[in-house]
């Protein structure tokens, strides 16, 4: 079965790109401005870290605003990208559409110029906040009608009203997409991290594809039951079951035996087979990017992640690596930074994937990444729908 053709914007360390690659998409070009992230992508492509990756197209380092025309990528199956999230992040400066880092208009331009059969746009949950609800509605209409371009001097609010007029008239005959969106928690799909991300998915209207977001496969309830009803979580890790926390035990005892989902994966599930990290070396027993980083801090509002629960959302931080968000807390109260390899596992990157750059820059790459397995779930569902469509017209 031939691969589906794709390009990706704002690729970063490659979480979304790798997930869509494993879902069956062939990347003809990857666009990323950060030098360290580009070096990560190049290093993994050149060493063939993942099967088929050497066939990836150009890794284009630079600002996508400098790409004059994406029309050379006509007839694509997919355009994907995780537009820089700082403008809409709860942890950011909340400037949103006024932030010059807002690259969503560039994603819309790419869709307009390349007219792919489908697109996947990923961003932070914060884009759904009340402060940005009008702008989110505007983005959705822009993506439905990407050829209706904002005019010179026209505000986004006026452009939004014009798009609403076109939408309600119902007679637009240009490039059009059917668009849906949802917030997905990575933990609900087997990632050892409670990372909530907004996904916007569109299919070109001439495909007539019916699609919905994949159903969750994992749950917190199943984890609680595994820990405090069955106890098999602790048995699996060779540990003695601790006393039930008051806020977990009561909930777990109410659970029925019918558990349609699997337990959330915890940090311990993700990293327990790794050797103990050391501060004097980066590679231990063949495990790369596994140096112990000293100096972890925990403070109010930035406490670490308990090892027997999914990690909190890893963060990049505007002023270096955040303390609590990227630390793991052990049952005895000790805590430390996650190593790069541990953080990569929390983001569901395979061990074959290496990261380039100074520690703080690599942790920034990981904090900005889309969890690879979550990306794969969404991209595989899109790919399967495209292939089923192709099978009906062969």
pLDDT classification of 98: cutoffs 50, 70, 90: low
Is-contact 156 150, C-beta < 8 A?
yes
Render pLDDT for 214-273 as a digit per residue (tens, 0 to 9).
999 999 989 988 998 889 999 999 999 998 877 666 676 667 656 678 999 999 999 999
The arrangement of strands across the sheet holding 25-32 comes to 58-61, 25-32, 4-9, 78-82, 118-124, 196-204, 177-185
DSSP-derived pairing of the beta strands 218-219 and 262-263: parallel
Per-residue model confidence (pLDDT) at position 80: 98
Average pLDDT over residues 98-102: 62
Average pLDDT over residues 95-105: 66
Render pLDDT for 137-194 as a digit per residue (tens, 0 to 9).
999 999 999 999 999 999 999 999 999 999 999 999 999 999 999 999 999 999 999 9
Per-residue model confidence (pLDDT) at position 228: 87
Per-residue model confidence (pLDDT) at position 92: 44
Mean pLDDT of the chain: 91
Render pLDDT for 51-90 as a digit per residue (tens, 0 to 9).
999 999 999 999 999 999 999 999 899 999 999 855 554 4
Distance CA 374, CA 320 (A): 26
Distance CA 39, CA 311 (A): 27
Model pTM? Answer: 0.93
């Amino acid at each position: 079965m031939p691969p589906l053709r794709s390009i990706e914007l704002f690729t970063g360390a490659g979480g979304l790109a790798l997930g869509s690659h494993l879902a069956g998409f062939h990347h003809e070009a990857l666009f990323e401005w950060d030098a360290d992230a580009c070096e990560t992508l190049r290093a993994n492509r050149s060493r063939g870290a993942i099967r088929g990756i050497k066939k990836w197209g150009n890794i284009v380092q630079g600002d996508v605003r400098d790409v004059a025309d994406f029309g050379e990528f006509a007839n694509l199956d997919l355009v994907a990208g995780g537009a820089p999230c700082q403008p809409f992040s709860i942890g950011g400066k909340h400037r949103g559409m006024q932030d010059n880092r807002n690259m969503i208009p560039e994603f819309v331009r790419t869709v307009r110029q390349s007219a792919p059969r489908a697109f996947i746009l990923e961003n932070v949950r914060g884009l759904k906040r009340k402060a940005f609800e009008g702008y989110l509605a505007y983005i959705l209409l822009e993506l439905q009608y990407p050829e209706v371009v904002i005019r010179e001097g026209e505000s986004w609010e006026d452009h939004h009203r014009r798009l609403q007029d076109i939408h309600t008239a119902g007679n637009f005959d240009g490039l059009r997409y059917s668009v849906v969106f949802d917030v997905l928690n990575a933990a609900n799909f087997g990632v050892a991290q409670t990372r909530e991300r907004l996904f916007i998915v569109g299919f070109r209207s001439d495909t007539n594809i019916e699609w919905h977001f994949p159903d969750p496969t994992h749950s917190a309830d199943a984890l609680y039951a595994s820990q405090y009803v069955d106890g098999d979580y602790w048995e699996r890790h060779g540990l003695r079951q601790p006393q039930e926390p008051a806020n977990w035990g009561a909930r777990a005892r109410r659970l029925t035996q019918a558990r349609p989902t699997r337990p959330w994966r915890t940090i311990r599930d993700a990293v327990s087979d790794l050797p103990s990290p050391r501060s004097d070396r980066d590679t231990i027993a063949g495990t790369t990017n596994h140096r112990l980083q000293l100096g972890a801090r925990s403070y109010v509002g930035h406490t670490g992640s308990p090892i027997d629960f999914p990690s909190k959302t890893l963060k990049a931080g505007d002023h270096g690596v955040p303390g609590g968000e990227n630390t793991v807390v052990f049952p005895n109260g000790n805590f430390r930074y996650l190593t790069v390899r541990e953080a990569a596992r929390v983001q569901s990157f395979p061990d074959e994937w290496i990261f380039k750059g100074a520690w703080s820059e690599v942790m920034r790459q990981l904090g900005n990444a889309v969890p690879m397995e979550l990306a794969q779930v969404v991209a595989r569902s899109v790919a399967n729908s495209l292939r089923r469509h192709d099978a009906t017209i062969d």
